Amino acid sequence: MTDCAVILAGGQANRMGGGDKGRLMLGDQSLIQRVIERITPQVDAVVLNANGDIHRFDDLGLPVVADSIEGFPGPLAGVLAGMDWAAEQGHDWLISVAADTPSFPRDLAERLAGYDTPVVLAATPDPERGRLPQPTFGRWQVSLRHNLRAALNDGVRKIRQWTQAQGETLVVFNEGDFFNINTPEDLAWAEQNLK
DSSP code, position 51 = -
Closest alpha carbon to 140 in 61, 102, 85: 85
Alpha helical stretches, state H, 133-183: 145-153, 159-166
114 annotated as a binding-site residue? no
Neighbour count for residue 151 (Cβ, 10 Å): 18
Sign of torsion, CA 168 172 1 33?
positive
31 is in an annotated binding site: no
Residue 60 is labelled as binding a ligand: no
Q: How far apart are CA 52 and CA 11, in angstroms?
A: 10
Residue 94 forms beta bridges with which residues? 4, 140
Neighbours of 181 (CB within 10 A): 26
- The answer to whether 116 is a known ligand-binding residue is no
The verdict on whether residue 9 carries a ligand-binding annotation is yes
Strand (E) or helix (H) holding 117:
none
Q: Which helix (H) or strand (E) holds 4?
A: strand 4-8
Tell whether residue 100 is among the known ligand binding residues. Answer: yes
- Is 3 annotated as ligand-binding? no
Q: Which residues are annotated as a binding site for Mg(2+)?
A: 100
Q: Which residues are annotated as a binding site for GTP?
A: 8-10, 21, 49, 67, 100
Q: Which residues are annotated as a binding site?
A: 8-10, 21, 49, 67, 100
